Structures are given as C-alpha cells and as structure tokens.
Structure 1
Amino acid sequence: MDAQLPPALAEWLRSQGHDAVHAISFVGVDASDEAIWDAAKAESRIIVTKDRDFAVWVSARRNGPQVVWIRLGNATTRSLIAWLTLRWLSIQDRLAEGAHLIEVRA
C-alpha cells in the first residue's frame, strides 16, 4: 500500500483476509515510487494507491505488479474505508481476473 494512504487501510485489508502491508513498514518512509514498485513486483504484491504515477507505469505496459488506483479526494480514514468497502468485492473480482490496473473513482 502506498504511503499516501493511511496505515489503517492496510489493517482493514488484513481484516478482510489479505496479507497487506503499508509502504512505510514495507520499504520505509522515504521510499521512492520506484522502490515501492520494485518491492511489490519482487514479492508479488498489489499496489493500492492514490498516486497517478503507478497507473501511468501500468498503462505504459511496464512490467510489474497489479495496481488499484483510488481516485477519491481527501477523506477521513473512516470514510475512505466505508467507500472502499462498497467497492471491494468488485475490485477483488477484477484482480482475480488478472486486471493490471483497476481505477476506482468516486
């Protein structure tokens, strides 16, 4: 999970049965997008992000992990998780189908 999203989102994903880790604990607080990308690729993880850069990389067919690009403005952690909860089953289905980029809009 990208550093732009709250660590509580990784906790929520773990509560949903996923092996989620936040970028801060995964690659460090000052890690570059490239470091996050490479670490996710190496460990076959999915990047959940608000960062457009990851979506651009996937769209350019750059070899790497699946990306869930959250297109939601500023939100409290609670409202972000509530918003994502309504969409998560669909996101999981698309991931299972092998989609490399899943754009989730508000």
Structure 2
Amino acid sequence: MKFLIDAQLPVRLSYLLKSMGHDAIHTKELALKNATPDTEINAISIREQRIVITKDSDFWDSFYVNQEPYKLLLVTTGNISNKELESLFIKNLGQVVDLLEQHSLIEMSRDSVIVHQ
C-alpha cells in the first residue's frame, strides 16, 4: 500500500511502514518539506493514489467536503510518544490495510480502529 505521512507524525513512521513492505513517504521528503500545503498533499495523494496518514483534522474536513485526499487514515491518539505510536501501528496495521482496501476513511485511536466511510 502507498502512504503519505503528514508533518505532525514522525519521519520514523515512514521507515517503519517501509520495513513492513509498504511504499511510504513523509512530507519532509517533498520539495517544500513540512511546509507543503494541504492542497498539494491532497493533489499528490490523488495523483499517486497514496493514503494520507495525519493527525490534522483539516484533512477530515477536506475529505468530507471535497473527497480529497485519495484515502485518509486519521490518527486520533492525542499526545503519544513515538515508541507508543510505532507499537500502535505494528499492532493495527494489518487491520488498517485490510479496511483501506474497502473503505476510504479510517480513524485509529489508542484503543480502536473505526471505519467512517
């Protein structure tokens, strides 16, 4: 699966996803790095069919209003250490990938994975 990880999440999440066999890029790898506007992130997501992983609720709004980005994984853990975040992804990634094959909007909290669409 192809992912685009937004600025609020650590670059090491990209490395973790790559190590698990996925195609992942972080906004730090883009031309404007973490200053890349949401509109450009959405455009890249659609063009490359990448699932945006973010904590930014603006993408939630954009998805409901404009059906952008291509697909969205909204992380709603609040403040969490990088180690806890990685553990959460390791624990839930199989389920998240399965759900994203059928759905376009998934939310992952500390204790659940929720399908919204």
Q: TM-score, normalised by structure 2?
A: 0.83
Give the unaligned 5+ runs of structure 1. none
After superposition, the C-alpha distances for 1:50-73 in whole angstroms (9 at most, x for unaligned) are 111111122225244100000011
Query: Counterpart of 1:67?
Result: 72
Query: Counterpart of 1:13?
Result: 17
After superposition, the C-alpha distances for 1:35-90 in whole angstroms (9 at most, x for unaligned) are 11111111111101111111112222524410000001111211100012111111
C-alpha distance in 2 between matches for 1:64 and 1:76: 26
Matched letter for residue 32 of structure 1: P
C-alpha distance in 1 between matches for 2:17 and 2:61: 24
Shift of residue 29 of structure 1?
Answer: 2.4
C-alpha distance in 2 between matches for 1:58 and 1:101: 8
8 Å CA contact 2:9–2:55 kept in 1: the answer is yes
8 Å CA contact 1:41–1:65 kept in 2: the answer is yes
Query: Counterpart of 1:47?
Result: 52
After superposition, the C-alpha distances for 1:2-37 in whole angstroms (9 at most, x for unaligned) are 011000000000011011000111342211111111
C-alpha distance in 2 between matches for 1:45 and 1:53: 17
* % identical equivalent positions: 30
Out of 38, 57, 73, the position equivalent to 1:33 is 38
C-alpha distance in 1 between matches for 2:68 and 2:84: 33
Measured on the aligned residues, the alpha-carbon RMSD in Å equals 1.3
Query: Moved runs in structure 1, 4+ residues, more than 4 A?
Result: none
**Hey, which of these two has a bigger chunk of strand by percent?**
2
Pairing of 1:81-96 with structure 2 (within 5 A): 81-96=86-101
